[in-house]
Structure 1
Amino acid sequence: MKITVFGATGGVGREVVRQALDAGHEVTAVVRDPARLDVPPHDRLLVAVVADLTDEDALVPVLAGREAVVSALGPSSNKQARLTPVAGPALRAIVSAMDRAGVSRLSAVSAAPLGPDAPGDGALMRVMVYPLLRRLLRDVYADLAVMEAAIGASRARWTVVRPPRLLDRPRTGAYRRALDANVPGGKVIARADVADALLTTLTDPATAGHALGIAA
């Protein structure tokens, strides 16, 4: 499969690029600074520099001829999301450029606090943990909510992946999944497993048009 990856220099994005190459895919990694792409050169890896991810005309060439898109974009902090939202503006341009380029399949990372409370979660999670996170990181989640709305309003065959707190751990492939829900008791997951979920949903028609909660 020919895949374009946005957010390729981030923790999840680098894992997406590595795992996609290991699986035999052709990857176009979209970056602003190629020096930050911590992935060895590969004959199936094309690095495309795009300075402004809201520039739809600049996005069409990196999408033309591809079969799927993975977005690992997201704000790095609440302050950044408040001052310069990342995911929402970029995905509005990306889904429009996808339509122009004739690419329909998209998977994008979001966050568990945007999903519904999981059945079976205790009062601590429902009453304290998630409400506190939603207040402390309200600008991050506002940016991701705009992103999800843009994706949902698009003509793409999309899947939004909603993980809890991310950890730098090896891929297990044994994480739990919940369609249109959060995973009960889901507190953490490895970035490598988030990358795995982003890639595997591309060929899973059951997840198209849905949000997927994942957790270790």
Structure 2
Amino acid sequence: MTETIHPMNITIFGATGKVGQALVREALNRGHDITAVVRDASRLKIEHERLHVVEGNLLDPATVERNAKGREAVISAYGPKPGEEEELLEAARSLIEGVRRSGTKRLLVVGGAGSLLTDDGTRLMDTPSFPEEWFPLAAAHADAYVIYSRSDLDWTYLSPAAALEDGPRSGNFRIGIDRLITDELGSSRITIADLAAALVDELEDPYFVRSRFTVGY
């Protein structure tokens, strides 16, 4: 007999991106109540009686505080536009400050894969095959991860596989900590839907509190 999960009140930042929308759908499908904080409400095409859409700026700690207050958890799926990678650091600081002020302790963040370790102990972003144009974003994600890891919140940081793909939700994936997960052919991949499933699994049944984890096939 499976344990019944208590429905939670959750705030999600970055809900209009592909990962954010997948998280909203996954959490709604599991019976949770969602407040989605977005810059432009017209970009979120999901409608549900348990979804409340609020316009606000993640980079403003007061906005974070207001929308995190009274919630059981805050999730960030925020990703910056190309050329604005440094906003990731500003977003990390704003989230930590605002969530702390709100009295909510649980913060879950979808980050980057670049700082995961390959088999020889090298960070993925430092390997010769890592695309040069992705390096600024990977470096910003790595710096943001350090900021989260030094906070006093009950944070969890989810690094995806190297390739984040469109595709179905299988619910069948492997979980790791700091090492990139690859298949027998050396490929590292996960669908956005399964990434969302993994994060909501962690939300409902916390295991990686104050730590990072990763998922892949």
Please report the TM-score for the alignment, with normalisation by the length of structure 2: 0.86
Task: Give the match for residue 106 of structure 1.
Answer: 107
Q: 1:146 aligns with which of 143, 147, 162?
A: 143
Paired residues, number:
206
With over 3 angstroms needed to count, the CA separation of the structure-2 counterparts of 1:97 and 1:169, relative to structure 1, is: same
Matches within 5 A, 1:13-32: 13-32=20-39
5+ residue gaps, structure 1: none
With over 3 angstroms needed to count, the CA separation of the structure-2 counterparts of 1:186 and 1:71, relative to structure 1, is: farther
Runs of 4+ with >4 A deviation: 125-129
Q: Give the percent of matched residue pairs that are identical in Structure 1 and Structure 2.
A: 35
After superposition, the CA RMSD in angstroms is 2.2
**Distance between the aligned counterparts of 1:86 and 1:19, measured in 2?**
27
More helix, by proportion:
1
Please report the TM-score for the alignment, with normalisation by the length of structure 1: 0.87
Matches within 5 A, 1:116-195: 116-118=117-119, 130-133=127-130, 135-163=132-160, 164-184=162-182, 185-195=186-196
With over 3 angstroms needed to count, the CA separation of the structure-2 counterparts of 1:23 and 1:116, relative to structure 1, is: same
Matches within 5 A, 1:10-89: 10-40=17-47, 42-50=48-56, 52-77=57-82, 79-81=83-85, 85-89=86-90
Q: Return the offset for 1:75.
A: 2.6
SS at match of 1:80: coil
Q: Return the offset for 1:215.
A: 0.9
Q: Letter of the 1:183 partner, please give it.
A: I
Contact 2:59 2:90 in 1 (8 A): yes
For residues 81-127 of structure 1, what are the alpha-carbon distances to aligned partners after superposition, in whole Å with 9 as ceiling and x for unaligned? 2xxx23221121011111111111121111222111146x9xxx989
For residues 42-90 of structure 1, what are the alpha-carbon distances to aligned partners after superposition, in whole Å with 9 as ceiling and x for unaligned? 221111101x32211122111111001111112343x332xxx232211
5+ residue gaps, structure 2: 1-7
